[in-house]
Amino acid sequence: MPANGSAHVRIARPSRDLAAAGRFWKQGLGLTELYRHDGEPGEHALLMLGWPDAHWHLELTVDPSGTLAPSPTADDLLVVYLGEAVPADLVARLERNGGRRVAAHNPYWDEWGVTLEDPDGYRLVLSPRDWSNA
C-alpha cells in the first residue's frame, strides 16, 4: 500500500519519565492510552497515546541504557487544531498535569495558539484555527 492521506502516522519520542509524560498527555490533553509495555530490566518501556479515531498516535519510550534522552528544540511542535477558542480550563488542566506554558519560538504560534511544554520539554500548540484555514 502506498503512503497516502489515510496512512496511520506514529510520532515516536524518548521520555525520561513515562508516568509524568503520561499524565500530561492523558489527564492533561485527554489522549487515550492505546498500549503500554513497562519493559523487563534491559528492555525499552513504551507508552502509546492517541485518540482511537485518529490517524496518528504518540509513542513515548524510555531507553533502558539511559543514554538516549529527550532533546527537543523550541521548534519541535505537535500542533492540535481545535477549530475554536482554546479553552482556559484545558490549558489549566495541562499545567496541573506537568505542562508549562511558554512563549513560542515562532511568533506565529503566539498569535494563533497557546504553547505548552510537556515534562520532557516537547512542545504542544493548541491552535484555535481550523486545519482548513491554517
**Domain at 91, CATH number:** 3.10.180.10
Q: Are residues 89 and 50 part of one domain?
A: no
Where are the strands (E) in 24-99, listed by range?
32-37, 45-50, 56-62, 77-81
Q: Are residues 86 and 57 part of one domain?
A: no
Q: Rounded to whole angstroms, what are the CA distances from 18 to 6, 53, 90, 96, 107? A: 29, 23, 21, 16, 30
Domain membership of residue 1 (yes or no) is: no
Percent of the chain with pLDDT over 70: 98
Q: Are residues 119 and 87 part of one domain?
A: yes
Q: Are residues 87 and 50 part of one domain?
A: no
Q: Are residues 81 and 127 part of one domain?
A: yes
Query: What pLDDT sits at residue 1?
Result: 54
State the pLDDT confidence band at 10, using cuts at 50, 70 and 90: very high
Domain membership of residue 67 (yes or no) is: no
Is the pLDDT reported for residue 27 higher than 70?
A: yes
Query: What pLDDT sits at residue 125?
Result: 98
Q: Does the global pTM surpass 0.85?
A: yes
Residue 118 grid cell: 510537556
Query: What pLDDT sits at residue 16?
Result: 93
Going 28 to 29 to 32 to 35, the CA torsion angle's sign is: negative
Phi-psi category of residue 39: left, alpha or beta, with phi > 0 → left and psi -120 to 50 → alpha: left
Reported as a single tens digit per residue, the pLDDT across 67-122 is: 888 999 999 999 999 999 999 999 999 999 999 999 999 999 999 999 999 999 99
Instruction: Summarize the confidence of residues 2-25 as an average pLDDT.
Output: 91
Contact yes or no for 56/10 (Cβ under 8 A) = yes
Q: Are residues 81 and 58 part of one domain?
A: no
Q: Which residues contact 22 (CB under 8 A, 6 or more apart)?
A: 33, 47, 49, 60
How far is 68 from 115, CA to CA, in rounded Å?
Answer: 25
Total number of domains constituting the chain: 2
Q: Which residues contact 82 (CB under 8 A, 6 or more apart)?
A: 126, 127, 128, 129
Domain that holds residue 115: 77-133
Is the pLDDT reported for residue 11 higher than 60?
A: yes
Q: Are residues 82 and 58 part of one domain?
A: no
How far is 48 from 22, CA to CA, in rounded Å?
Answer: 9
